[in-house]
Every structure is written in structure tokens, then in C-alpha cells.
Structure 1
Amino acid sequence: MKKPLLIIVGPTAVGKTEISINIAQKLNGEIISADSMQIYKHMDIGSAKPTLEERAGIPHYLMDEIDPREDFSVVQFQKKAKQYIDLILKKGKIPIIVGGTGLYVNSIIYDIDFTKTISNWEFRNKLEKEVQTYGNEYLHKKLEERDPDAAARIHPNNVKRVIRALEIIENGESIKDFRSALVENPDYNYVLIGLMRDRQELYERINKRVDILIKKGLVEEVKKLISLGLNEEDISMKGLGYKEIIKYLKGMYDFEEAIRILKRDTRRYAKRQITWFKRYDKIKWFNFNEYSSKVQLENDIIKYVEGKLNFI
């Protein structure tokens, strides 16, 4: 029998955290975070990590688990998330994956065997050195020459994805073939929920969130991370909120410019997330703006989930 699984996705600042915790309480669930920044310890403010109080006693896995000096890949996420899904099910509870990192979600709902697409580390190291020497645009131009369609979909600043795309091509595959080869993971009977707000409201929430993160002490958090030996070369410090503040602290931006860029880039990231999640055929969207209260929204989600899954 397939394992039941609830997945809740949506763009940053849409309101996934509060809704997912409330639903977990009502469905006797536990949460697995699918957020590439919340996995790291000490990175609480910039990643908008829920506090212990906000988690309301609901266990959250893949949150606060990795030292920010370490890299954490989608391969590691897939392995750990599957282990936690089994653990939660053995406890007689409902596993709920919540987050906005599309690659992490893909690694669970699709039957991806990463051992068949192992990175060529020598090739990857070569590309990383080229980025450091010549910049992001140089590497993106390389991808454009080899696969224009893939280059059109990947922003030049998303260096990790540009490198991954070039690795796939180097292994003799095309990005199109790699995407079309994706098949659903036969292990799970999953329900995929997408949370949405009207675009203007979402962007206003993003701008407000950035202001709140600054008031909570984002600059101080970045200073503390730097004191621990982290810098802009660490993968964890390339995340939104961290890279902009590092540049401000190094005198590359003034404070107002750093905040403006952070708000702009977060809005752009949310737009890319929406585009990514709209690719999912089985996703059921719920728009906050169509409900007069969060309770109504949560009740509708629960009703939908109960009609789809076999564990309730």
C-alpha cells in the first residue's frame, strides 16, 4: 500500500507556516521542512524560521539540523525526508512536507535516483572556479550556448542551478529529456496543496516581512554568523537576506540600498516559485483572498485532504 503524504507549498511570505501548523494540529500531523535555508542552525531570522512557541508543540524535522558551514544537497534532503516520513507514519501520525524549495519537493514526489546523475566533481569544481574568476553571466552564457531553452528558464544569479544544468549536459543528457523522464514516486499517495494570494498583496507582505526581519535583528544575526567564521563563499550565506546584508556590512551597499535589493530579489524569487509550482499537474490551489477567515481556508483544505488520502 502506498504511504500517505500531505505536501503544502507556496511562495515565500504567503503564510505557509501558520496554516501548516494549524492543519498539523487538526490532522494529528508532524512537519518536515522543505526549505533550503531553515535546515541550518543559527540562521533563524533571515530564513523566517518559526520559533518554538510558534511551532505550538508540533515536531518540525529538517529544521535546525545542519551547521551553516556545511553544504546540504537535494540528495541529502531526499534521503533524510524519506526517513522522517517513515518515522512519522510509524508513530501513527500524518507526515506533512511544508516549504518553498521546488527541488526538494521534486525529490519526493518524483522517482528520482540521484545515483544515476552523480555530479562530476572535477567538472563542478572547474565551473565554480570559472564563476569566481569571470562571474555569473559568463557561466550562464556557457549554458545558453549549449542549451538555450534551459538558459532561458534559469536566472544567471542562480549559480547552483546553472552548474547543475551544465553537469546534466556534460553527462550526455539534455535538460528537456531530464525533465520529461520524471515519473511519480510509486511509494506515496500524496496530496499536494498550493497556497496563494493575489500578487499585489503577496508583494506587500514580502516588503513588510523584510522590514520585520530587520527589526528582529537580521543585521546582528549576520554579524554573529560572520564571527563564527562564515562568509559570502559559504552556500548558506548565499541565501536571500544574508548575501545582501553581507554586502552592506562590507560597504558595497548603503543600508537603504541593501533593503531595496532584498525586497526586490525576494519578490522575484516568489514569482519564480509560483512558476515552478504551477507546473505540478496534481496541485490544488487555495487562495487566501477567496476566504473571509483563515479558519474557513483551513477547514476547506482539511475537507479536501480527507477526501483524497487513506489515512483519516
Structure 2
Amino acid sequence: MGEKDKGKLVVLIGPTAVGKTKLSIELAKKLGGEIISGDSMQVYRGMDIGTAKIQKEEMDGIPHHLIDIKDPTDSFSVAEFQLIVRERIDEIHRRGCLPMIVGGTGLYIQSVIYDYQFTENTSDPEYSDSLEAIAATEGVLAVHNMLREIDPESADRIHPNNIRRVIRALEIFRSSGLTMGQYQEKQETELVYDTVLIGLTMERDILYDRINLRVDHMIDNGLLEEVSALYNKGVKECQSIQAIGYKEIYEYLDGKISLAEATQQLKQNSRRYAKRQLTWFRNKMNVRWFDMTEANQGRFNQMLDEILKYIAGKLKI
């Protein structure tokens, strides 16, 4: 497929609390855009405050996709994300609008914009069935420990209860001899769309202050009540509750730590996550970075104009 045949796509990435939401709305208004959430946790219904999900009134009439499409007990994979998002991109193009992916889940976004193949050649149904049988009889930890022996990096990243992904990593190793990380690195790096990749960054001290303040606002705005509602419904031992903002409060609700300790852990985990996000984007994607430090200090409109000019130049619009 030639470059002229590829649909246009804007991708706006950056760490948590850097200011993606506000900027994305203004960009979408100027560009005739529709926004696709690039956050692996905003797909879950009833998980609004802890995922910093955009509120209806904040959308300012801009259509948003991939928000509230799953129950908290559902699993959600990068392959499913890729499939749904590419369908949404095609739909948005057909409406004559510009699709914009906005978020911070690096691998998920990468799977959409690059030629990631989730092909059958690494699938082994017989092996997969045998692993599911082990999980059923000996528990999910038994299968997770099998993964840890051959691929400790993936074992650290994948929760034991996300059994489908654990089995997937084991399948990949059995069929290819590669760990999941090695397999992903081998994926094609050709862009599927005519893509402009914009990254937002900020001076670390200011970003960390914003993260700490955001957590305080979450607590003030009802995070404890939101998480307690899930806890009381018996939403446990599932993928969604491993999200930052939920696992810490669950520790408190289990009586393991105080609310003050849970809040501090939430702040620390959020800061660490922001650092990991920036490292991932810088190592894995060819991003044009814009420093939002000054935008945060009164130069928002100038920063918006600068980014609009960059997008127009790259996409020839």
C-alpha cells in the first residue's frame, strides 16, 4: 500500500496527568477529529475516577470511542484492542473525519499503528487446552510459574489471573522460541496509516506535582466510593482491578494498609508509571515531543498553534 493510499491518523501520547485530554479536545475541534481512547483501562464501565476518564461535559461535542465497552470482570487483550480500534478508524475515515488516538498505553497504541500480526502461526490449541486444564486443576499460579521459568520479564508484567495472556506468552515461546518481548520486537515497524505521532512531556517535578494533586482530587471526588462499589459487588481476581488506583484501594479495603498509606502508594505508583510511559514511548516510537511545561504556565494557545502547524505539515492538511 502506497503512502497516498493510507488513511490519515493523529496519535497523541504522553504520561498520565501531562494534559492530553484538554489538548486533544482543542485539536479535534480544529481538525474535525474524533477521539479514540488509547488507554487499556478506560474500556471498563464503572471505573471512571481512577482511570481519569473524560466526562461527557468535557467532551465538548467531540465523539469519543473505546470508553465503557467492557464490564470490569471482562478480560481485554491487545489483539482485541487492535481489531476494534482499526474498525473505528475505518468508520471515522468513511465519515470524512480525522481519527485521533489519545492515551498512554504504549503497547496497545503501537499494535494499531504498526503492522503487528496476531497470527495463527503461533497458536497451538492443543497446548493451550492443556494449559487451561492445568489452571483448572492446579490453579493459575501453576501456569504463571511455567511462564516465569522461560520468560520472567513477561511474568512480571502479566498478572497470574490474566490467564489468557499468560497462555498466549507460553504459546509464543513454544512455537517460536522467542519470549513475548522478543516476538513483539520482531514485528514489522511499517506504519499502517499516514500517521503523525505527537508526544507531550513536562518537567519532571511539575509533572509529579500534577500527579500528586490529581490523586488528591480523585480521593476528594469519590474514588474510595467508586472502588468500594466494585469491591462490594465481588469484582476481584480480575484484570481490571490490577489498574493503578484500584489495587491500592483494594489493599485498604482488605484491611492490609491504612487509607493514608493507600493514597501514598497510589501517588508513588502513578509517578513510577509516568516514568515508565515516557521510557516506553522514547524507546519504541518515533515521536515529535512537545514540552507542556510552559503551556501549563499560560502558553496553552501558543502550544496548540505550534502542534496544529506540525500536524498540518506532516499530514498535508
Which TM-score tier does this pair reach, normalised by the shorter chain? 0.7 to 0.9
Code of the aligned partner of 1:230: V
Code of the aligned partner of 2:131: F
1:76 positional shift: 1.2
1:281 positional shift: 4.5
| Structure 1 segment 214-293 matched on structure 2, within 5 A | 214-231=219-236, 233-291=237-295, 292-293=298-299
Does residue 308 (structure 1) correspond to residue 314 (structure 2)? The answer is: yes
Partner of 2:301: 295
1:126 positional shift: 4.7
Return 5+ residue gaps in structure 2 as ranges.
Answer: none
Distance 1:38 1:162, change over 3 A: same
Cα RMSD (Å) of the superposition? 2.6
Does residue 45 (structure 1) correspond to residue 49 (structure 2)? The answer is: yes
Partner of 2:186: 181
Partner of 2:60: 56
2:20–2:102 contact (8 Å) kept in structure 1: yes
Question: What secondary structure sits across from 1:229 in the alignment?
Answer: coil
Does residue 123 (structure 1) correspond to residue 131 (structure 2)? The answer is: yes
Distance 1:11 1:249, change over 3 A: same
Partner of 1:202: 207
Whole-Å separation in 1 of the counterparts to 2:276 and 2:133: 27
Query: Runs of 4 or more off by more than 4 Å in structure 1?
Result: 124-136, 160-167
Partner of 2:116: 112
1:50 positional shift: 1.0
Whole-Å separation in 2 of the counterparts to 1:215 and 1:265: 19
Return 5+ residue gaps in structure 1 as ranges.
Answer: none
Whole-Å separation in 2 of the counterparts to 1:303 and 1:17: 19
**Length-normalised TM-score, structure 1:** 0.87
Distance 1:215 1:163, change over 3 A: farther
Partner of 2:17: 13
Whole-Å separation in 1 of the counterparts to 2:136 and 2:117: 24
**Length-normalised TM-score, structure 2:** 0.86
Question: What secondary structure sits across from 1:240 in the alignment?
Answer: coil
1:114 positional shift: 1.0
Aligned residues: 302
1:63 positional shift: 0.5
Question: What secondary structure sits across from 2:17 in the alignment?
Answer: coil
Code of the aligned partner of 1:193: I
1:227 positional shift: 3.3
Does residue 93 (structure 1) correspond to residue 97 (structure 2)? The answer is: yes
1:56 positional shift: 0.8
